[in-house]
Structure 1
Amino acid sequence: MLMAERPHVDDIPDAHAAAEYIAALSADLGRIARRHGLATLGYILDMARCEAEQASGVRPEGGRVNGKPRGE
């Protein structure tokens, strides 16, 4: 999801939608953190993503582990 496609925070209608938004945003932020050598921050953001995915009922995309495809 591109930043331009993300809703304004005041337009998020309910907890489910908020959790989906937080999952997507924290996944992006985790990738940025790891790309720039911020491993601990990347890990914390991955934990936030996992919690948000669980709260929203969304399954993790493509069997990812720590934001990376399995086997990578």
Structure 2
Amino acid sequence: NRSGPNPQTLQRMFGLTSAETHLALRLAQGDAPLEIARSWRLSRTTIRSQLASLFAKTETRRQAELVALLGRISVLP
């Protein structure tokens, strides 16, 4: 039972940067963007920018849609 998608799988499938991959993994765990920004000591603007990039690269439009996609990918090796 995996806790989330494999980081290398995400990077390979979507061409994500390391920062985008880490953000995706945190979102898949149920963390909110503001919570992530605070824990990483980054601005909300930075997280929003990375989130926008995640949406574009994964062809999703909403956080819930992205998290659902990540959940489906978590069963991949």
TM-score computed with the length of structure 2 as normaliser? 0.42
Structure with the higher fraction of residues in strand conformation: 1
TM-score computed with the length of structure 1 as normaliser? 0.44
Tell me which of the two structures has the higher relative contact order, counting C-alpha pairs closer than 8 angstroms and 6 or more residues apart.
2
Larger radius of gyration: 1
